[in-house]
Each structure stands twice: as structure tokens, then as C-alpha cells.
Structure 1
Amino acid sequence: MGSVNEPADRTPATDTEDGPRIKELRELAIHIATGAAEMAARMRHEGVAVAATKSSSTDVVTEADRATEQHIRELISRARPDDAILGEEGDSVSGTTGLTWVVDPIDGTVNYLYGIGSWAVSVAVVEGEPEPTSWRTLAGSVVAPRLSEVYSAGAGEGATLNGRPLRLEPHSGLSDSLVATGFGYESARRTAQGRVVAQLLGSVRDIRRMGSAALDLCAVAAGRVDAYYELGTKPWDHAAGALVAREAGAWVGGLKDDERESERMLVAANPGISKQLRAALRDAGA
């Protein structure tokens, strides 16, 4: 499977036996995510309604979340009926190919609800058990229709934004780094996360909270922020975005060198500051 942060400039997948498969899966991920994003944007224009809440009263699900995920599932089942599906809003679907599509129909639902443009559709396909600590992400796409942005990546193929290659330049110095983060929906967790931010704030340039894990990861890939960290993200929140960041050259994992990204902690950072940031997070009690 390779190391946690295999260099993005390794031999392109298209030069290997796996290359054509990854290219095909990447194109399909882009197609599905783009179509679903257009549907979600149209539904938002027509009006949005809260369908339910989940972990707390602030953790909302809209009718568009459910309709968009159903649309994604139908597209996947039509194109690859034997693959498994893991989505945020519906039951898991088993498969026989060893591949699982991990989908978030609207990442940044609160932004979507309030008419803030920082939300996206995230579609990824992984190989192996559908668990971030063990899977291998083959391809993924994150599409933000209100920002007119289509991110995509394939394992060993690099990452792109609207077709333009993304490649990070090394950045050193945590004190002049812009760091993004996110907060959980439960009050007690947010309070604890706030204490970590308060301690970290004096060690970095500034903090940003944009409300979409998928787009935070893509922002790292695009160099718009130098790092992103968050506790409590789910597999569908980061499956595609983590691949985009990693393929752009970012360090992606947990708090330790040998940890994969997981619900316990997700860190994505310019490789020049990843060790400093993770040490600062540990010191802050993250």
C-alpha cells in the first residue's frame, strides 16, 4: 500500500498496470460529482428545507442531501453495479469487486442551508476495507459549484483544479502559516476544540474556519491555506479531499508520523510545517 505520505512525484500510475483503471475511475468520479453538484445547486436555488437532524440540533440534513446522494448512488450502480457504496445519508451497499465508492452528497450542509458558497460534493473510490486507516484511495473528485471549482486526483496521477495541475511549494515556519480547522456539532466537543484553537492561535499566522472538510483539504492542495486539521471527521468527509491534498504534495495523516487520517484526527499540511504543526497540536491537547 505504500507509506502514509508517498511522494506525489512518484512514477505516474498511467505508466503502470494500474494506470488505465485509475484514469477511468477518476474520470467517472469527476462525472458523477459534477452532475450531482449541478443537481444540488439547482435544488438550492429552488429553496432548501431541513429534513432531519442527526447528532445534535445543529447537525442538519436537507432534502437536497438525501436526493443528491440517491442520485449519486444511481449513477454509480448504473456504471459499476458490482462496486460497494458508503455514503453519509444512506445504508451501505455491499459489492464484489473490492472497490467502495465513498460519497458525501453535500459537504458543508450548514453553509448550503445558509446560502454560503463553500459547500461541495465529494466522490471517491477506495480499494480494500472501507476504513481510512487501511484503504487505498484510487481516485476522487470534489466539486464546488458555487465556486466554479472541480478538484480531482488519481493515485500516482497528481491532483488538478479545473484541469490545472496542483503542486505545493515547500513552506517552512509555522508562525507565518495560515491554518484551517473545523468544529464538531456537539457543544462539549466544540468547547474542547475551541481551547485547542485558542492555544494554537498564538503560534500561527491566523486560523480559518470555512465549514467544509473536503474544501479545506483542497485548499491545502491549492496553497490557499498552509494546513488543515480537525477531530471527528467521517470517511466521506475526507476520502476525496485527502487524496487531492496528498497528490498535490501535502503531508496527510494523524498526529503521529505513522498514523493515517481517521476520525481521531485528520491533519493535512504543507510538508515543510507538518511536524511543527502536529507537535503544536499535541502540546495544545488535540
Structure 2
Amino acid sequence: MDLALRAAHQAGVFLRDGRPDDLGVAATKSSAVDVVTEMDIASEKMITGFLAEHRPDDGFLGEEGASVQGSSGVQWVIDPIDGTVNYLYGRPAWAVSIAARVGGADGETVVGVVHAPMQGETFRAALGEGAYVNDRPLKVRPAPPFEQALLGTGFGYLTERRVRQAEVVRQLIPQVRDIRRGGSAAIDLCDVAAGRLDAYYERGLNPWDLAAGDLIAREAGAVVGGRAPGDAPSGDLVVAAPPALFEPLRAKLDALGAWHD
């Protein structure tokens, strides 16, 4: 936890204070709107370099290409800027996300840190020890009736997927209080943990998008799962909600085909 916090704060200061006024797109990934900036790349190098200095036998999985097997059984899962498009446009909803899992790629996440510099907040959780924002304990909001739920979601970058996701929102929004789209999966999961959203769902997330936020939400009392009952969260679908709201939302999303492109 200490190393994750130090790495996240160092990267956060660098990203907040070092953002060029003329920041542009350095590369694209899945589509022309799925962007990478030079700051994403530099932030990941900073984080992996710091962690490798202190734990040279650990493995790494990072959004911008860090991939080291390691020999210790510990793997760090890193999103150097979760919410890159927000960061590119100077919007505040972006974060540094760092998780540590034991047992390699299929192991259990034991530490998660989501540092949101522009919000002045650091969310953290250790397995079995609860979740916190700065020094305040986190707890999910009690589940409201389904029709009063405030949901968060996100959209992918492939046109076909975005069209399908928009159709799911079109059908779902008359049935709930409202739907928010913040642009950072890590912050959305932390917002469930903090009671700022009743629930969150999204299709198409990668391990680095959700590893830290998943643990933080669960340690705050949320259920986090996937498409089918008992499924772990995955790229097919991630659902996070208080226990009494989780299954109604998961079942509704399944009925709407939210897992299908």
C-alpha cells in the first residue's frame, strides 16, 4: 500500500503540474478517438520505474504496454491516466490507478489505489481492511428502489459498440432516476464506493481500468460482478452496486443485451 500510494502521488503531481498547454495525441489504439498522450507514456514509465526499484522481482501489466512476468507472484496493474480524453481536454475527472494482485494474472487483488489529483482525493483499499478516501472510511449508499437509482456508465471507442451501448441507455434511462457518464471507470467505481452513484455498469473494460476500483468498491460494501450470476467482472460486463440493487440491475442489463455488441 505504501508503495502504491507513493507511486500514485508522484505520478499525479507530474501529470497535474507538468501537463503541457499544447498537449496533443501521441498515438491511437482501437480507433481514432481512443487516444494516448505523451503524458500517459511518461506516467507509466515513472510508475513502473519506481515500483521496480523497490520490488525488482514483481510483474507489471500496464495500459501503455508495460508487461513483465516477474518471479515474486506479485503483479502490479497500472493505468497511468484513467480518463485520458478528460485529461487531454483539461477536464478534471481523471485518475492514476494502481493495483497489486498476488498470484499473477489470475490472482487476487490485495491493494488498490485510485488517485484523482484534480479532485484532491486518494481512494484506497486493502483486501479485508475496508476502503477509504483520504482518511475517511467509505461505504456504499443503501440501495434505493430500482426506479430511483442513479447509475454511472461509460462507452467504448468502436462505433458499433457505442451504438449498441447508446441503445441500452435509451431503454434503461426511463426506468431509473438518471444516468451519468463521467469518463473514468476508476473514478466511477470509487463513486459507487463513496455513495455518489447508486450503481455503475460498463462493457469493454480492461484489467487496468477496473483492478483498483473493483477492490475499493467491494471493500466499501458493493457487489462487483459480470454478465451472469456469479461471474467475475470482465470485459464482457462490469456491474457494481449495493447488494440489494446488484441483481436487479445485472438482470436488467442482461435482458437488454448490454454484454452484446
TM-score range, shorter chain: over 0.9
- Cα RMSD for the two superposed structures: 1.1
Deviations 1:20-70 (A, max 9, x none): xxxxxx222111111111111122255422111111110000000000000
TM-score of the two chains, using structure 1 as the length reference: 0.88
Distance in 1 (alpha carbons) for counterparts of 2:69 and 2:51: 13
The residue that corresponds to 2:69 in the other structure is 94
Distance in 1 (alpha carbons) for counterparts of 2:229 and 2:13: 38
Secondary structure of the 1:276 match is: helix
Residue type matched to 1:31 in 2?
Answer: R
1:30–1:140 CA contact under 8 A, matched in 2: no
User: In the alignment, does 2:168 pair up with 1:193?
Assistant: no
Aligned pair partner of 1:176 in 123, 130, 148 = 148
Distance in 2 (alpha carbons) for counterparts of 1:178 and 1:243: 21
Structure 2: runs of 5 or more not aligned: none
Distance in 2 (alpha carbons) for counterparts of 1:281 and 1:152: 28
Structure 1: runs of 5 or more not aligned: 1-25
TM-score of the two chains, using structure 2 as the length reference: 0.96
The residue that corresponds to 1:41 in the other structure is 16
Alignment of 1:1-286 (within 5 A): 26-44=1-19, 46-130=21-105, 134-286=106-258
Deviations 1:209-228 (A, max 9, x none): 00000000000000000011
Secondary structure of the 2:68 match is: coil
- Compare 231-240 and 269-278 and name the one that shifted more: 269-278
Distance in 2 (alpha carbons) for counterparts of 1:48 and 1:163: 33
Deviations 1:233-269 (A, max 9, x none): 0000011000000000001010222100111111111
* Identity of matched residues, %: 52
Distance in 1 (alpha carbons) for counterparts of 2:255 and 2:164: 14
Aligned residues: 258
Distance in 2 (alpha carbons) for counterparts of 1:94 and 1:285: 36
Distance in 1 (alpha carbons) for counterparts of 2:179 and 2:37: 28
Residue type matched to 2:13 in 1?
Answer: E
Residue type matched to 1:84 in 2?
Answer: G
- Could you tell me how far 1:171 is from its partner in structure 2? 1.4
Residue type matched to 2:198 in 1?
Answer: D
Secondary structure of the 2:208 match is: helix
Distance in 1 (alpha carbons) for counterparts of 2:18 and 2:179: 32
Distance in 1 (alpha carbons) for counterparts of 2:24 and 2:126: 35
- Could you tell me how far 1:127 is from its partner in structure 2? 1.3
Residue type matched to 1:141 in 2?
Answer: V
Q: CA 1:94–1:226 in 2, change beyond 3 Å: closer, same or farther?
A: same
Deviations 1:159-205 (A, max 9, x none): 00011110224313110000000000011110011111111111110
Q: CA 1:267–1:123 in 2, change beyond 3 Å: closer, same or farther?
A: same
Secondary structure of the 1:272 match is: helix
2:41–2:64 CA contact under 8 A, matched in 1: yes
Residue type matched to 1:145 in 2?
Answer: P
Distance in 1 (alpha carbons) for counterparts of 2:140 and 2:256: 27
- Compare 101-110 and 199-208 and name the one that shifted more: 199-208
Secondary structure of the 2:243 match is: coil
Secondary structure of the 2:244 match is: coil
Secondary structure of the 1:126 match is: strand
